[in-house]
């Protein structure tokens, strides 16, 4: 074998050239030729803040060190490409210039790019085609410096240049932020950690780069989700590494037999909760449960980090677009699809299309309450479609199921209305455990009304709950509410204290119920004097009888 070898960008970017030299595959003290074309592309990638560019620079530095030690002879040849030639790189112009250098120097071309190698052979070059490394030869995961920051309690590690490292420790919904070292991360340390991550991800067949843009890289490194950011995207170099602490089965959650039967027949499920509450962990458990129930299950994720079983294929953006992924996924005909995360208007449309196509869907949605999840669909889909695409809402808090709501359509007079002519399609949202009506959603004129009917118990406590919440506290129901009655020209205005605004109320006089109504946002009810109830109120008002209310 000749002792002159021209490297293309592929063997630099994946570090294979170093392995070939160290293993002696290129002979003793080989001549390693690096065309200026390769250097220009590495420099370009680095200037636009691509992590692969920084990794390439590190490989070039290693080659120079091997040259200084006398282990290789490093040669730089060729002209630097023009800006136009760099822009034409996807069309093969830079590869053609590299092949030209190999021919001019009567050298072997080293590449891991199959197309580059085949074209080189066609042009009469001697080509050394290097296959990707087998996983058994990869660097061990446990040897990475990043793992030094993790212990058995660590959920995520946050490293930023010149800042002391922090970690989240605990469990979903019950974590704490801790400083894990008093020594700030130096520039050299954070760059070493970043380069080790990139090198491992590119070599390991179970790891992959999910997103690479100017100043940002998202990678899945085995079970770790890694985010590396740089200026101009972030104000400094930062590495965030997240790993799942637990992999749970559905039986590990607060699920009784009745709820399990509901999940067996539910087809439009929203799993919601705050960030870090444990939504993805529950969704993965649900996916594995459906797999055990002999269902074909797939996932659709912007970043493939759900901890599901190997039988479940995880799909991501196809050509940078989830809509393209959805088109292909529909042809696969899954029984259930886990959609993590439903966030943009396009995502909601994809979720709707899948449900209307008959695919069972589990959508993961960020929200602060169970009803907030369904509100994110209002305005994005037709109101009448909601029960067809969503039938069950599961709110996760503290790593467990907090609330389960069910959605159904009916035709009735909305709560608080007296006139039967006002009957209309109403979407009822009920608490699954008790079947208690919690919310009603219906059209009123040009508006969509979400009317809270009964409170939903929650572990959260707010000091200003009584003033700000549209839901009455349990102890308020049944309490006597003093009402102020004003008689105007052609109507009666009944006003309650401000904290009862937007609630349903029963109006009494002498312990007799006169009517039930809904207080406005201003905590009042306006009745026309032509109304029978208004006439009763006026009569009792003139007789100076006590008129009061109770929350319904």
Closest among 349, 520, 500 to 444, alpha carbons compared:
520
Q: Is residue 463 part of a domain?
A: no
Number of domains the chain is built from: 4
What is the Cα–Cα distance from 292 to 20, expressed in whole angstroms?
Answer: 45
Domain CATH for 210: 3.30.450
Q: What angle do CA 262, 266, 272 make, to 5 degrees?
A: 95
Q: How much is the pLDDT for 470? A: 45
What is the Cα–Cα distance from 95 to 41, expressed in whole angstroms?
Answer: 11
Last residue of a domain, one of 132, 154, 185: 132
Q: How much is the pLDDT for 136? A: 38
Query: Treating both helix axes as pointing N-terminal to C-terminal, what angle do 36-47 and 93-104 enclose, rounded to 10 degrees?
Result: 150
Q: Is residue 460 part of a domain?
A: no
Alpha helices in 23-151 (DSSP H): 36-47, 51-68, 83-87, 93-104, 114-122
Domain CATH for 319: 3.40.50.300
Q: How much is the pLDDT for 310? A: 87
Q: Is residue 535 part of a domain?
A: yes
pLDDT in tens, 284-321: 999 999 999 999 999 998 777 788 888 999 998 888 78
Look at residue 472 and tell me whether its pLDDT is greater than 80.
no
Q: How much is the pLDDT for 475? A: 45
- b (16+ CB within 10 A) / e for 93-132: bbbebbbbbbeebebbbbbbbeebbebbeeeebebbebee
Structure tokens at 383: 């109101």
448 and 509 assigned to the same domain = no
Q: Is residue 194 part of a domain?
A: yes
Closest among 145, 93, 148, 86 to 116, alpha carbons compared:
93
Q: Is residue 461 part of a domain?
A: no
Domain CATH for 73: 3.40.50.1010
Q: Is residue 297 part of a domain?
A: yes
Structure tokens at 392: 């069950």
Q: What is the CA radius of gyration of the chain?
A: 32
Q: How much is the pLDDT for 407? A: 94
pLDDT in tens, 239-252: 999 987 667 888 88
Q: Which domain, by its residues, includes 49?
A: 4-132
Q: How much is the pLDDT for 469? A: 43
Q: How much is the pLDDT for 474? A: 59
What is the Cα–Cα distance from 293 to 315, expressed in whole angstroms?
Answer: 21
431 and 480 assigned to the same domain = no
Q: How much is the pLDDT for 477? A: 53
Q: Exposed, middle or buried, 543 (CB in 10 Å: 0-12/13-18/19+)?
A: exposed
pLDDT band at 130 (very low <50, low <70, confident <90, very high): confident
91 and 162 assigned to the same domain = no
Percentage of the chain modeled with pLDDT above 90: 34
232 and 280 assigned to the same domain = no
292 and 413 assigned to the same domain = yes
Q: How much is the pLDDT for 368? A: 87
What does each C-alpha distance from 312 to 293, 315, 532 come to in angstroms?
13, 10, 63
What is the Cα–Cα distance from 383 to 346, expressed in whole angstroms?
Answer: 17
Last residue of a domain, one of 81, 115, 132: 132
Say if strands 268-273 and 392-397 run parallel, antiparallel, or are unpaired. parallel
Last residue of a domain, one of 222, 242, 262: 242
- Give residues with Cβ within 8 angstroms of 51, minimum separation 6: 194, 198, 212, 217, 228
340 and 238 assigned to the same domain = no
Q: Is residue 457 part of a domain?
A: no
- On whether the CB atoms of residues 485 and 532 are closer than 8 A, the answer is no
pLDDT band at 455 (very low <50, low <70, confident <90, very high): low
pLDDT in tens, 170-181: 876 677 899 999
Other Cβ atoms less than 10 A from the Cβ of 260: the count is 12
122 and 154 assigned to the same domain = no
342 and 445 assigned to the same domain = yes
> What 3-state class would DSSP assign to 446?
coil
> What 3-state class would DSSP assign to 402?
strand
| Residue whose tokens read 């932020």 | 177
141 and 109 assigned to the same domain = no
Q: What is the layout of strands, in order, in the sheet containing 400-412? A: 313-315, 297-301, 336-340, 360-366, 268-273, 392-397, 400-412, 424-431, 437-444, 447-452
275 and 382 assigned to the same domain = yes
Q: Is residue 462 part of a domain?
A: no
pLDDT in tens, 374-393: 888 988 888 889 999 999 99
What is the Cα–Cα distance from 458 to 398, expressed in whole angstroms?
Answer: 12
54 and 122 assigned to the same domain = yes
279 and 328 assigned to the same domain = yes
Look at residue 542 and tell me whether its pLDDT is greater than 60.
yes
């Amino acid at each position: 074998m000749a002792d002159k070898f021209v490297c293309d960008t592929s063997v630099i970017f994946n570090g294979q050239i170093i392995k070939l030299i160290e293993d002696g595959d290129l002979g003793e003290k080989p001549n390693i030729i690096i065309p200026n074309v390769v250097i220009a592309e590495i420099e370009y990638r680095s200037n636009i803040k691509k992590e692969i560019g920084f990794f390439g620079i590190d490989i070039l530095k290693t080659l120079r060190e091997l040259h200084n030690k006398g282990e290789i002879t490093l040669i730089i040849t060729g002209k630097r490409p023009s800006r136009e030639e760099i822009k034409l790189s996807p069309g093969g112009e830079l590869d053609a210039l590299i092949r030209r250098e190999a021919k001019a120097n009567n050298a072997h071309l080293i590449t891991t790019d199959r197309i580059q190698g085949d074209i080189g052979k066609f042009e009469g070059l001697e080509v050394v085609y290097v296959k990707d490394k087998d996983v058994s030869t990869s660097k061990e995961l446990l040897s990475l410096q990043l793992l030094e920051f993790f212990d058995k309690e660590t959920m995520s590690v946050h490293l930023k240049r010149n800042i002391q490292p922090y970690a989240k420790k605990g469990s979903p919904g019950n974590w704490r932020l801790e400083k894990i070292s008093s020594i700030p991360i130096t520039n050299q340390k954070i760059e070493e950690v970043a380069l080790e991550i990139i090198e491992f991800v590119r070599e390991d067949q179970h790891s992959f780069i999910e997103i690479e843009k100017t100043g940002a890289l998202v990678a899945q490194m085995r079970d770790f989700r890694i985010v590396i950011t740089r200026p101009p995207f972030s104000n400094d170099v930062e590495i965030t590494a997240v790993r799942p602490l637990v992999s749970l089965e559905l039986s590990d959650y607060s699920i009784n037999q009745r709820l399990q039967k509901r999940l067996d027949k539910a087809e439009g499920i929203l799993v919601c909760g705050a960030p870090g509450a444990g939504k993805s962990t529950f969704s993965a458990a649900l996916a594995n449960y459906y797999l055990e129930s002999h269902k074909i299950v797939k996932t659709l994720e912007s970043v493939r980090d759900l901890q599901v079983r190997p039988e479940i294929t995880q799909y991501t953006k196809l050509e940078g677009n989830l809509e393209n992924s959805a088109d292909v996924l529909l042809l696969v005909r899954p029984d259930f699809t886990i959609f993590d995360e439903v966030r943009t208007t396009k995502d909601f449309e994809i979720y709707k299309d899948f449900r209307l196509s008959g695919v069972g869907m589990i959508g993961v949605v960020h929200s602060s309450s169970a009803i907030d999840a369904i509100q994110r669909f209002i305005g994005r889909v037709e109101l009448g479609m909601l029960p067809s695409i969503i039938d069950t809402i599961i709110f996760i808090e503290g790593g467990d199921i907090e609330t389960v709501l069910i959605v159904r359509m009916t035709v009735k007079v909305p709560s608080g209305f007296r006139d039967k002519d006002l009957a209309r399609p109403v979407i009822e949202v009920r608490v699954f455990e008790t079947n208690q009506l919690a919310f009603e959603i219906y059209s009123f004129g040009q508006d969509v009304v979400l009317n809270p009917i009964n409170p939903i118990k929650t572990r959260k406590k707010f000091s200003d709950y009584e003033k700000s919440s549209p839901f009455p506290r349990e102890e308020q129901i049944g309490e006597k509410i003093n009402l102020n009655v004003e008689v105007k020209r052609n109507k009666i205005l009944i006003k309650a204290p401000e904290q009862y605004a937007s609630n349903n109320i029963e109006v009494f006089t002498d312990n007799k119920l006169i009517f039930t109504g809904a207080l406005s946002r201003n905590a009042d009810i306006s009745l026309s004097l032509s109304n029978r109830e208004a006439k009763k109120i006026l009569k009792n008002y003139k007789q100076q009888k006590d008129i009061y209310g109770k929350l319904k």
